[in-house]
Structure 1
């Protein structure tokens, strides 16, 4: 029995369908688009699971409370809580207004903390909490100041939750994505003045964007029995983006430049 916030599209949708293939029951939370949420439910049920679309605006305290009240009324228990919903203003620091800062906290961090407070009492036989983060939690880049520090805070909260909830057999982890091919990424790179995405792709060791399915697979693993001894960690899914630094290998020239696979030794 899993609850995923912001599950009508992107990583949340991919995760819901992935869990559905394992026969799970998934609460698909959404804010506005009921049609998309119902399509996710149909997809995960076709995959072999069971789904329930629940409208709730987790940006508000009342929305979080209503969401978990519905879960309690419908199922009386919860095994997995995935805090996935996110939103922010992509602006320079000097252009941020107080309401941008308030919304970034209310949308990205508070739902995890309040959600955990509601989820833990429902995890009567233990459970898993996973929060979605991004490489902006540890790296600085243009227009991400309102969101990156919130992601860093999420990863810190994950560590504290892992400590406090371990006696209840509840594991808490985060999954940090790099450049993941999603609507959010397209919106980010659509910010006026942002460099072309291709200029960044050249510096990712894997040479491509990540996929929402790759993120979903990592979250799914953390929810699985195989991850029983993993807690308080942030798993990075970024194709190696966060390990590189200038001078970049991709910018080098012969004899250092990347080339075709070398022949085997004689």
Structure 2
């Protein structure tokens, strides 16, 4: 029994279908688009799971409470809570207004904390909580100032929750995605003046963006019995992006540039 916020698209949708293939019951939370959410539910049921679409605006305190009240009324329990919904203004710091800062907190951090408070009493047999972060939690780049610090705070809350919830057999972890092919990535690179995305992908060791499914697979592992002894951690799914620094191989030339795949011949 799993609850995923913001599950009508992107990583949330991929995770819902993945859990459905394992026979899980998945609550698909959405804010506005009921049609998309119902399509996700249909996909879950096609692969052998059970789905329930629940409208709730987790940007509001009332929305978080109503979402978990529905779970409590329908099922009386919960195994997995995945805090996935996110939003933020992509602007330089000097252009941020107070409402941008308020919304960043209300949409990204508060639903995770309030959701965990609601989830723990429903996990009477233990459970898993996973929050989505991003590489902006530890790296700084243009227009991400309103969102990156919230992701850093999420990772800090993961550690504190892991400590307090361990006695209840509840593991809490984060998953930090890098450049993931999604609507959000399209919007980010559509900001006027933003760097060309192809030039950025050249800097990723895997030389491509990640997929929503690859992030969903990482979350699925953390929800699985195989991750029983993992808590308080943030798993990085970024194709190696966070381990590189200038000078980049993409900017070198012979004899330093990387050759084609080695043949083993000397």
TM superposition score category, shorter chain reference: over 0.9
Separation in structure 1 between the aligned mates of residue 255 and residue 206 of structure 2, nearest angstrom: 20
- In the other structure, the counterpart of 2:73 is 73
- In the other structure, the counterpart of 1:59 is 59
Deviation at 1:203, TM superposition (A): 0.6
Separation in structure 1 between the aligned mates of residue 80 and residue 214 of structure 2, nearest angstrom: 19
- In the other structure, the counterpart of 2:198 is 198
Separation in structure 2 between the aligned mates of residue 162 and residue 49 of structure 1, nearest angstrom: 29
Quick check: 1:3 aligned with 2:8? no
Separation in structure 2 between the aligned mates of residue 57 and residue 32 of structure 1, nearest angstrom: 8
Separation in structure 1 between the aligned mates of residue 152 and residue 102 of structure 2, nearest angstrom: 16
Quick check: 1:121 aligned with 2:121? yes
Separation in structure 2 between the aligned mates of residue 220 and residue 193 of structure 1, nearest angstrom: 36
Deviation per CA, 1:92-143: give whole Å up to 9, x if none.
Answer: 0000000000000000000000000000000000000000000000000000
Separation in structure 1 between the aligned mates of residue 8 and residue 44 of structure 2, nearest angstrom: 12
Deviation per CA, 1:30-82: give whole Å up to 9, x if none.
Answer: 00000000000000110110000000000000000000000000000000000
Quick check: 1:134 aligned with 2:134? yes
Quick check: 1:246 aligned with 2:238? no
- In the other structure, the counterpart of 2:256 is 256
Deviation at 1:261, TM superposition (A): 1.0
Separation in structure 1 between the aligned mates of residue 132 and residue 5 of structure 2, nearest angstrom: 10
Separation in structure 1 between the aligned mates of residue 251 and residue 220 of structure 2, nearest angstrom: 36
Instruction: Tell me which stretches of 4 or more aligned residues in structure 1 moved more than 3 Å.
Output: none
- In the other structure, the counterpart of 2:95 is 95
Deviation at 1:249, TM superposition (A): 1.3
Secondary structure of the 2:255 match is: coil
- In the other structure, the counterpart of 1:22 is 22
Structure 2 segments unaligned to the other structure (5+ residues) = none
Deviation at 1:265, TM superposition (A): 5.0
Secondary structure of the 1:104 match is: helix
Deviation per CA, 1:204-233: give whole Å up to 9, x if none.
Answer: 000100000000000000000000000000
Separation in structure 2 between the aligned mates of residue 259 and residue 132 of structure 1, nearest angstrom: 36
- In the other structure, the counterpart of 2:37 is 37
Deviation at 1:189, TM superposition (A): 0.4
Deviation at 1:250, TM superposition (A): 1.4
Give aligned pairs, total. Answer: 266
- Structure 1 residues 154-233: aligned runs within 5 Å: 154-233=154-233
Separation in structure 1 between the aligned mates of residue 258 and residue 32 of structure 2, nearest angstrom: 46
Quick check: 1:12 aligned with 2:12? yes
- In the other structure, the counterpart of 2:235 is 235
